[in-house]
Structure 1
Amino acid sequence: MTTTAITEPAAAAAGTVNILIVDDEPRNLAVLESILDDPSYRLVRAGTGEEALLALMADEFALLVLDVRMPGMTGFELAQMIKERKKTARIPIIFLTAYYNEDQHVLEGYGTGAVDYLHKPVNPAVLRSKVAVFAELHRKGRELEQANARLSELNASLDQRVTERTLELQESEARLLEAHRRKDEFLATLAHELRNPLAPVRNAIHYLKLRGPDTPDVHWASDVIDRQVGAMGRLIEDLMDISRINQGRIELRREQVALDAVLADAVETVQPQIDGAGHKLTVLQPPMKLLVDADRARLAQAFANLLSNAAKYTDPGGQIELGVVADGGMAVVAVRDSGIGIAPERLESVFEMFSQDVPALARARGGLGIGLALTRRLVHLHGGSIGASSEGGGKGSVFRVWLPVAATRAADAPTAEAPAPACAEGALRILVADDNRDAAETMGILLEMMGHQVQRVHDGEAAVQAAGSFRPELVLLDIGMPGVNGYEACRRIRAQAGAAAPKLVAVTGWGQPHDVQSARDAGFDHHLVKPVDMDALMHVVEACVAASGRA
């Protein structure tokens, strides 16, 4: 036990509690100190109410042992003041008295905050027991406060760590989004750069075909080049489609369409590849026509990828089967081949990006390994599902697509669109502007072979000047020309021609949706992607001829 006068305030040592004993008789204080002799107690004595208040202001106490009858401020009055102060209101008080034994005094004591009321002479054991209880309660309370303080610190630390981790994750997400953005920009740039050299190659092929009969060798070489340019173009489109899907930029133009028409489009796309490999393609259609709610071009692209995959992974002279059956409310399309098959452990991964079965062989057969991944995503966008099965290596494979059938069936649904018409008669003045001289020259030659008058320039400024002097009815502008780009040239040509402005067509390797929108915003009437599809170009030219009244 430590006994301290009120002039020596000190914080309680670890594990000890402060107890304030108040009595105006020094003898009584000595008796209390004797009874409460305990090393875990720090006893602070006060002889008056005023001294007790000073002690209470200086220290924290677990308990007050308070004499009721004191000169000046009585114990009751002191207790009332203690109760009125927020800092001391919860300190338990044990009253000691030799005089106030009536019930009214006891009630008054409890009313002023007493937790017990003992009569002198005090039973030492009873007093020690009661003090021990309150001292232990104080220790537990202090431990709880310390635990709460530690918990608050831990929570604050955890909050800080969560905040820091959240910031790290946000920064990581920002870096990832930036990496995706850069990747998409790279893919778009790559597609543009790959399309540019393909444009004059395709134009040259069409020139050879329009020139008339040629030797078998030249005809064969033209067909080979045409097929390979088409394959290259499809690879570029696959790359761009994956980027568009990842960004959520693909919007399906849904309509009710006959499934056999969609499959006919897919077969037409892949037929040269199938014929070139000497495969036999068998198409099995159901007795009734099935309608699906689909984007015809995109769904045909998905089935063309499956057929192309079958042709690629089947040795020359193989068998490919395309079948359709109705199963309840679903149309099931199966593409079966006699090719190299798929190992059982790889069936789950064939639809993953850049996945190719038997990698070394797959690389030898070409491809980027994105066709099946793109197909799965296109099928999912149509509300369908896709699966693969195979009995193992060398035993062929089957890819099945399940698509919801539209509510109605139409026996007279259209099956195919008419091919693009040939260019109408009537010559146009056409301006071709492209900094790629081969692309400009070959495009000009093709248009001249159709009977049109063509002028070629190789930069945007020259295009604006030629538009003023040559007065073309149709202008084909490359976008990425040095100096004045295609967008600016388009605006200037429109501004200088006014109401007599020619039809303006953007011819570019940039083919994403926002590129098309940028062309429209600049004032272009049409947007064609390199290498230009000749049917699409002929539609534009014929529309211009018709508008001129010379059709």
Structure 2
Amino acid sequence: MSTGTPSPVSAPPAPETRVLLRTATARDAQMASAVLDRAGLQTLVCRDTPSLLHELSQGAGALMLTEETLEGRNAEALTQALSQQPPWSDLPILVLARQGADSRAIAQAMAAFVNITVIERPMRVAALVSAARSALRARGRQYEMRTLLQGLREADQRKTEFLATLAHELRNPLAPLTTALALLERKPMGPSETKRYYGLMGRQVEHMTRLVSDLMEMSRITQGRVDLQMAVVPLATAIRDAIEQSRPLLRNGGHALTLRISDETLAVRGDLVRLTQVFSNLLNNAAKYTAPGGQIGLFAREVDGEAVIDITDTGVGIEPEMLEPIFEMFVQASGASKAAQGGLGIGLTLVKTLVELHGGRVSAASEGLGHGATITVRLPLQAALEHEAAPDHRADGRPLVGRAVLVVDDNRDAADALAALLGDMGALTSVAYNGEGALRLALDRPPTLAILDLGMPGMDGYELARRLRESPQCAATTLIALTGWGQTADRERVRAAGFNHHLLKPMDVDQLVTLL
């Protein structure tokens, strides 16, 4: 049993744990205070009602009043003060009542105050201490609720700001897309001019895809729904792959990149793709928040059995109070969204989660706004091993020559466009816009490969896959699910339906070629 003050989630300041005493006589106050002090409870004797109300405004864990102090204007003033409590607060009140029948003052107090306990005098010392401790424990729970509500309000505010950022970032690429489409529809153009607009549209679609992919990736990783393909990874390989991915952004910003790896044999145990993602995100982040022509550095070394990687920049910097919160979801440093050249501000959250999944940790340092920043990643070192060169999956311009491909999607534009693209790559394509039509086509001319949308009316993609798997003609057909749903449960359902692969919309053509 506790012998002190309550212990809420985060200990409140001392004034909020006090028992404020207001008694009829100074002797009663001294006696009650002495008993509670010996029990380890903090008390404060208030000589009159105005001083009680003043101390109450500074914070209190409970009030202990005698019946005599609840008569007349004193009760009205106390009722008025307690009516102004915030929603989370319900201050416990202990009333020491005279022995005998209920008085009018007690009846009025019980009607006016919700959280009131009446204790008849004379009383046992143990009863007084027990009642005070119970009141303080209940007050401690209220402080926990206050902390929780404050956290929820802050999280809600961050989500609101994040959604506004998301809407803004999605509108940015939509504007040039809409303009380019309007121009292509309104006037005839030569091949060189149309190629320029197609390139513009392709870049904007790629940008939107990256935004959506970041959201999906964040959802999977924060819920622990990511599988790491662990192996011994040369640190230099992950870093150089990351630089290649980030080079366009670094080049566009005119940034000078300094790379220094103290030992090329440094290796860690991890997932090469995910580690590359970590360093690429950090390099992209540095490029986005650094003015054109800035300096960016990546330095890797060994310190006390750990690989320590510093990514430095001469960008906007980070305020001291934001060095830790900046890794949290939906948090952006002050003014960062204006400095960034596109993005949702969740890159550092992705980095932190992935690094921790590898048994490492990440931290930020900065001398303040305008003085750049350093993000440091620490990963456990692993003895280096021999590695085979990764296969090169790049294909020529017509990697699907001779393959019979069935495209199924109730969105006619999406189905026709994908079929045309695959046809340009050499495939013999057929198209269906619903499950029933696709089943007839497949049984009549079994395809080598079928790319099926899942969310179709009537016979959906799951049912279509099961029906195709039951047919001897299509037993060897490779089935690919093409969908916008990518959670673990969705992938399990896809496997159970008989699909060979699961691709997310919009389809990565290079990924499809690699699968084949």
Normalised TM-score (structure 2): 0.61
The counterpart of 1:533, out of the listed 501, 508, 515, is 508
Q: Does 1:477 align with 2:477?
A: no
Aligned to 2:327: 351
Instruction: Render the CA deviation track for 1:316-339: whole Å, top value 9, x for unaligned.
Output: 233322221222311111212222
Pick 1 or 2: higher relative contact order, CA cutoff 8 A, min separation 6. 1
Aligned to 1:385: 361
Post-superposition shift, 1:220? Answer: 4.9
Give 3-state SS (helix, strand or coil) of 1:353's partner.
coil
Contact between 1:342 and 1:357, CA under 8 Å: does it hold in 2? yes
What are the equivalent positions in structure 2 for 1:126-205 lying under 5 Å apart?
none
Amino acid at match of 1:455: S
Q: Does 1:461 align with 2:436?
A: yes
Change (3 A) 1:228 1:273: farther
Aligned to 1:319: 295
Contact between 2:446 and 2:473, CA under 8 Å: does it hold in 1? no
The counterpart of 1:268, out of the listed 221, 237, 244, is 244
1:260 and 1:215 map into 2 onto residues whose CA distance is 43
Aligned to 2:407: 432
Larger displacement relative to structure 2 (296-305 or 269-278): 269-278
Q: Does 1:493 align with 2:438?
A: no
Give 3-state SS (helix, strand or coil) of 2:325's partner.
coil
Give 3-state SS (helix, strand or coil) of 2:410's partner.
coil
Give 3-state SS (helix, strand or coil) of 1:369's partner.
coil
Post-superposition shift, 1:363? Answer: 7.1
The counterpart of 2:394, out of the listed 409, 420, 429, is 420
1:219 and 1:496 map into 2 onto residues whose CA distance is 44
Give 3-state SS (helix, strand or coil) of 1:350's partner.
helix
Amino acid at match of 1:420: R
Q: Does 1:280 align with 2:249?
A: no
Aligned to 1:85: none
Change (3 A) 1:454 1:158: same
Aligned to 1:237: 213
Post-superposition shift, 1:313? Answer: 0.8
Larger displacement relative to structure 2 (484-493 or 326-335): 326-335
Post-superposition shift, 1:425? Answer: 6.3
Post-superposition shift, 1:147? Answer: 6.3
Unaligned runs of 5+ in 1: 1-142, 202-213, 543-551
Post-superposition shift, 1:310? Answer: 0.9
The counterpart of 1:516, out of the listed 485, 488, 491, is 491
Give 3-state SS (helix, strand or coil) of 1:274's partner.
helix
Post-superposition shift, 1:523? Answer: 0.4
2:246 and 2:199 map into 1 onto residues whose CA distance is 14
If you compute each CA radius of gyration, which structure gives the higher value, 1 or 2? 1
Amino acid at match of 1:385: R
Unaligned runs of 5+ in 2: 1-119, 178-189
Give 3-state SS (helix, strand or coil) of 2:379's partner.
strand
Contact between 2:408 and 2:451, CA under 8 Å: does it hold in 1? yes
Amino acid at match of 1:486: G
Instruction: Render the CA deviation track for 1:470-516: whole Å, top value 9, x for unaligned.
Output: 32121100111122111011111222345644111101111122211
Amino acid at match of 1:463: A
Aligned to 2:230: 254
Post-superposition shift, 1:518? Answer: 1.0
Amino acid at match of 1:509: G
Instruction: Render the CA deviation track for 1:342-382: whole Å, top value 9, x for unaligned.
Output: 23332232212222223375376332221111211111111
1:399 and 1:218 map into 2 onto residues whose CA distance is 42
Post-superposition shift, 1:224? Answer: 4.3
Post-superposition shift, 1:219? Answer: 4.9
Amino acid at match of 1:436: N
Amino acid at match of 1:432: V
Number of equivalent positions:
361
Amino acid at match of 2:436: E
Aligned to 2:95: none
Change (3 A) 1:487 1:441: same
Instruction: Render the CA deviation track for 1:71-117: whole Å, top value 9, x for unaligned.
Output: xxxxxxxxxxxxxxxxxxxxxxxxxxxxxxxxxxxxxxxxxxxxxxx
Percent sequence identity is 44
Larger displacement relative to structure 2 (254-263 or 359-368): 359-368
Aligned to 1:399: 375
Give 3-state SS (helix, strand or coil) of 1:405's partner.
strand
1:457 and 1:258 map into 2 onto residues whose CA distance is 47
Contact between 1:261 and 1:415, CA under 8 Å: does it hold in 2? no
